[in-house]
Amino acid sequence: MKKFESLEDIAQALGDGGPFNPDTEYETVEDLVDALIDLGNTDKVFARHDDHLGLKSDLPADFLSAPLSEADKPKFESAIEAVIEQADIIIPLSERQLSEDDLEEIRDDKLYRGEDVDD
């Protein structure tokens, strides 16, 4: 089920009064994508989903540099869909309550990546 319909919807969830960065306004698509990737890199999300890691490198430079208010153009349709697809996964994962199993999965993921789990 698709939660977000546009980049503006994602911006609203990530900033502009949303729970993550309520005072943040995103000027460009790149600002928005960076915030989405940062959220995806949190332990809560990363232990379950890491497909966002190549997102930015797969997006056209003219799309990333476009002002957020002007990015909704037909030529950017596939890039917009890629960002929405990741947001539909990352944001719900970041909002969920963690169970003991989730905490153990995060711990195991950190150990696998060679991180110190006591940090």
Tell if the pTM clears 0.85, that is, is over it: no
Give the burial class of 119: count Cβ atoms within 10 A of its Cβ; 0-12 exposed, 13-18 middle, 19 or more buried: exposed
Alpha carbon of residue 11 to chain centroid: 10
User: Which tokens go with 58?
Assistant: 């797969």
Return per-residue pLDDT of the chain as tens, 119 residues. Answer: 468 999 999 998 887 555 555 567 889 999 999 999 999 988 888 877 888 888 999 999 999 999 998 999 999 999 999 999 999 999 999 888 888 887 888 888 778 877 776 65
The packing angle between helices 7-14 and 77-95, to 10°, is 30
Give the burial class of 21: count Cβ atoms within 10 A of its Cβ; 0-12 exposed, 13-18 middle, 19 or more buried: middle
Place of tokens 């999965």: 105
Collect all residues with Cβ–Cβ distance below 8 Å to 69 and sequence separation of at least 6: none
pLDDT of residue 52: 83
Residue type, 17: G
